[in-house]
A and B are shown apart, each in its own frame.
Chain A
């Protein structure tokens, strides 16, 4: 058994003295694990970093075996992202979500292509958060837990959508929410194609997708939301809180 494909490395764990068990994602084979010989050695550890794109060759005697990877670096996404804290935090978050939530060996081209578009541009920083939140919506959708943000579940209106029900994942307008507004998750404008995204919106977007990832994608696997994803939310949340605090100070002044 063998295949050869471009792959994004999602995770590597040292195995033995110099080897690593790598988790990669390809368009045709989905999330796939394998033993990368020398993957944690001095010579090859740089290639087998989460976020890198490699041309991977997987070989095994039988299809249900772990098998071995050999890989050649195509794009050093990790090296570009690790220079700044936010891009690195975004990189580790998306890799952890893809590695933990997606089923193994099941092709998910939409999720893969989303990663392919996101990772090389991560050094752009916070402007990529819109795409990151949208990518998480795609992950939820591909797993069968898609959000319905097209119409208000209470009033049937398609405009003025402001919240999402944490139970059903369906959108609700301000009027439809009524007294339940503080029990609903805020829906950022950029997810319904309106408004300019900002830190508050990105925070709300990460909270929204984080809720459903934790409850549905990871909850059904009896796992918590990955630490990397929780840390990204904390970072954006702290940045948004600082913006709000600065605005309050400006208003008071």
Chain B
């Protein structure tokens, strides 16, 4: 159907997140029907991004400049570093415009069960950024999973001796969430982290 080139294209597209063979076939067909307006600009953009975008040497964010736009921004509060698991989490926080400090992307979480240790993550760079002395607070914005919590505890143990304030993002009732549909663990976390009204 359409020759090996089309099958190859569908095969590559179907490996992308959110895409399966059927949606990849639809996307490929749409592009092939309008190669000049859709396919060639996309190919050019893909090549351009692949060549230009690299991980930031300071924080691990993906950007076409190094240091990245966030690290290079002089208006950012350089005394606060928000530690996130991946670039997707960084983008989510930036989209919400709730953090005005810098970031640090770990590139994953420690997993004692899967054997992922500190040396497999971007942790030494975080510790060296803290050791430079400009940082006053580290926010651990990691997932509420066993691995995320293990990473947060491990980082807390490592950072505490430096005297830098360490905070963690809150856990509990989501916006628009009703208590009766929450699981026991979320309810327990919400009650444990309650604050004065």
Contact = CB atoms under 8 A, between A and B. Distances in A.
A45 B184 CA distance: 14
Contacts of A79: 144, 183-186, 188-189
A50 B189 contact: no
Given A11-B113, A83-B192, A227-B117, A88 B185 contact: no
A227 B115 contact: yes
A76 B184 contact: yes
Contacts of B145: 45, 49, 78, 82
A200 interface: no
Given A80-B185, A82-B146, A92-B146, A228 B17 contact: no
Interface residue range, chain B: 20 to 34
Interface in B84-127: 112-115, 117
A96 B146 contact: no
A227 B192 CA distance: 30
A226 B154 CA distance: 17
Most buried by A among B115, B144, B149, B156: B149
A76 B188 CA distance: 10
Interface in A33-51: 45-47, 49-51
Contacts of A89: 112, 150, 153
B184 A92 contact: no
Nearest to B116: A227
Contacts of A82: 144-146, 149-150
Interface string B165-197: 000000000000000000111101100100000
A13 interface: yes
Contacts of B115: 226-227
Given A11-B113, A88-B149, 18 more contacts: A11-B114, A17-B18, A46-B144, A46-B183, A46-B185, A73-B183, A73-B184, A75-B184, A76-B188, A78-B145, A79-B186, A79-B189, A82-B145, A82-B146, A88-B146, A89-B150, A92-B112, A226-B113
Interface of A: 11, 13, 17, 45-47, 49-51, 73, 75-76, 78-80, 82-85, 88-89, 91-93, 95-96, 99, 226-228, 231
7 contacts: A46-B183, A49-B145, A76-B183, A79-B186, A89-B150, A96-B113, A226-B113
